[in-house]
Structure formats: C-alpha cells, structure tokens
Amino acid sequence: MEQSKVAGIIVECNPLHEGHRYLFQMSKQVTGAEYTVAVMSGDFVQRGIPAVADKYRRAEEVLRAGCDLVVELPLPFACGGADLFARGAVSLLDSLGVVTDLVFGSESGDLSSLLACAGALAGESPQYQQAFSEALKEGLSWPAARSRALQTVSAPAVPASPNDLLGTEYCKALLLSGSGMIPHAVKRIAAEGATLLRDRLRLGASLESAPCPLFEDDLSLPLIWTLRSLTAAGGAAALLPYEDVSRELADRIVRCADSFENWSSFCLLLKTKGFTYTRISRALLHILLGIRKDAVASYESAGLIGYAHVLGFRRDSEPLLSAVGHSARVPLVLRPASDSAALSPCFASMLQEDARASLLYQTVAQNKYAGLRVLRAVHDEERPVICI
C-alpha cells in the first residue's frame, strides 16, 4: 500500500451511534483515504466514568461500522483531561507511521477557527500564562480560567461545544508535536448522541451495543474502600500523588467522606465553582485505578507512547496491518503476554495498568449481571485480537 492515504480518527464510542458511522464514512470521503485507523479509549473514558460496554465489544462495533484497524488509547490518556487525551491520541496515531490525515467531528465544521485557537494555545505567551494563573487563583475552573486568559491576549475563544473543544486540542497537539498529519473537521449530523443514549440506558432502555451497561455508581463500593484505605493512615496527603488531585480537592474528599452514598452524589457533594463534576469524577477514577502523577510524568519524559495495542482489524485490511508493522515507531502489541517483553519497563507498566483496569471492569460487570452470565474474568493477555 505504498503512498496510500490513511485516515486516523479518535473515538470513545460510548456507545457507538449514527454520528460515529457518518464520521467513519466521511473520513475516507474527505481525505481520499483507502483505510481508516481508529484510536479508541479502553474500558474507562475521558469523563472519568466506565464505558457502558467493554473495549472488545466496542472495538468490534467500530470495525463493523467501517473502520479497518482499532488500537487502544492507553488508560492514562483515555482518562485524562482534554489536553492529555488529545496529545496521547495524536501521538499514538502518528507513531503508527502510516496515518496521513486526522479526521474529527465538529459542531461548527470551521477548521480555520479551530486552528487559530489551537495556535494561540500552543504559543502560551507569558501574558497568557500570567492571566491564566491569576484566574485560577481567583477560584475559576480550569476551562473558565483558560477562556479568560485567551481574552486577555485577544486570541480566539475556546469553543464551548465538546467536539470543537476536542478538535482544538487535536490541532494544538499536531502543532506542538510537529506532526505531518493533515487535520479535517467534519460537521456533525443531527443524530442521537452518546450522552442521550447513556441516559436512556440509565433509565432501563436496552441497546444491542451495550447489553450489560456499567455506570459510575456501579464502582461506588470499590471507590469508597479505596478512599478509606488510603486516607486511614495518611489523611488527605495520601491522595495527592494521584492525577487531577489538588490539595484543596484532597481536603474536600476527606472532609466529605462520611457523607458518601454513591459515586455520582459524591461528585455533586464535592463540586464547587473551581471543580467541575467531570474534573472531580476523573480525579476519583485516577485514585481508584492508581493513576499517579509521577507515572504520567515518566510517560511524558519517555515520549508519551511506547506501544500500540491492537484490539482488532478487518481481514480485508491486512495490508494496512502489515504496513503498520513495518512503519510503526513503537512496538505493536497483538499478544500482550509475549509482546510486552519488547517494551521498556516504563511502557510495560503502562500496559499493565490497562490490564488491571480491565479486570476491575469485568469483575464489577460480572457482579452486577451475575444472573445473566457468570464467566471467569479474562485477563487482557488471554484475549485474542478481534478479526472480522
């Protein structure tokens, strides 16, 4: 497949909907690409919640919807804020060595505006940094502080809509990394979105792509056990090593722990002007899954991405997988048990984080749905690559 165009997309598919299918279709149409590679979050996602279906089921849905190859976005990036999420995903696509174009959904479809905003964020002048720091000290949330700082330097405002916001972060990641991938913003179609579908599932609706859905409240028991076991001896200081946990938030968690009822109500209890619900949920997930600041810093120092864990591919797209095998700048992981031997200790640890998180996901799901299906929890090392 010499000189073939390959489109890259970044998705959670939590769950997959018609807007995703449209994006997959358009990714080839707007780029002229022969293949599409999807970087997909694993069992936990950027909002700081579990995915409603496990990563293997969602990967199969993505392949059946038209993508040719699905690789897993490692846990620290999948559960990170918009900046870390975007940088990890863009770096992973770029590391495959074959992706020529990056395609993402957008409420506006206005790529030039997104690029202009991304350029301002990538520059981060001293004036911007000072204004941002002052806004945070006033108690503004991170997104609000950034918006004010951009106004201070007369830069384009960060989009408020979620897909445009992520699109801006993707463009910023491209600029900062010097990637040659060409960005394309595909205007979203009117369709039932993932949030609406998740809300319907919470109310008891059935969905073929998520027959046994998990939600954050299903993790309430392991969360409160983790919080109590960590703080029993170390207090709030024991929470500080974890991603997204500040001293103020750690203190609030400890003060409010006795009022814990479930995950969602605890997030609402902790919520303040400076801490959004999503920021709090991400912090709690980081604590539960053991995602530490020093580990994320070590991944940053080592280049963010150290492997590409293949979840699945289409049989008629084997030339793509072969090309990735020859061109990728990182090892491909198809059989974690054996392929992890080729990874540095730093990234072998990252792969193990994903495996541990998947075991937690499966254990909770099996406990919730024991009346439907009782299976032994299957480690990532035992799961075969999906091939359709």
> What are the angstrom distances between the C-alpha of 277 and each of 11, 58, 266, 274, 282?
22, 25, 10, 10, 9
Q: List per-residue pLDDT tens for the chain, 388 residues long.
A: 666 899 999 999 999 999 999 999 999 999 999 999 999 999 999 999 999 999 999 999 999 999 999 999 999 999 999 999 999 999 999 999 999 999 999 999 999 999 988 998 898 778 878 888 888 888 877 778 878 887 887 677 778 789 999 999 999 999 999 999 999 999 999 989 999 999 999 999 999 999 999 999 999 999 999 999 999 989 999 999 999 999 999 999 999 999 999 999 999 999 998 899 999 999 999 999 999 999 999 999 999 999 999 999 999 999 999 999 999 999 999 999 889 999 999 999 999 999 999 999 999 999 899 865 555 667 777 788 999 9
**Residue intervals in the chain for CATH 3.40.50.620:** 6-117+162-197+296-387
Ranges of beta strands (E only) in the chain are 6-11, 35-41, 44-45, 49-50, 69-73, 101-106, 182-187, 308-313, 332-333, 386-387
Provide φ and ψ at 386, rounded to 5°.
-75, 130
In this structure, what token pair is assigned to residue 362? 């499966």
> What are the angstrom distances between the C-alpha of 51 and each of 14, 43, 213, 309, 357?
6, 5, 8, 18, 12
Amino acid at residue number 297: A
Q: What is the pTM of this model?
A: 0.94
Distance of CA 141 to the CA centre of its chain: 20
CB distance 71 to 55 below 8 Å: no
Question: Taking Cα atoms as reference points, which of 284, 247, 251 lies closest to residue 265?
Answer: 284
Alpha-carbon span 342 to 355, nearest angstrom: 17
Question: Taking Cα atoms as reference points, which of 224, 258, 254 lies closest to residue 239?
Answer: 254
CB distance 75 to 81 below 8 Å: no
In this structure, what token pair is assigned to residue 61? 């849905």
Question: Taking Cα atoms as reference points, which of 91, 378, 46 lies closest to residue 244?
Answer: 46
Residue that has been written with the tokens 């997204």 in this structure: 244
CATH superfamily, region 6-117+162-197+296-387: HUPs (3.40.50.620)
Provide φ and ψ at 292, rounded to 5°.
-100, 150
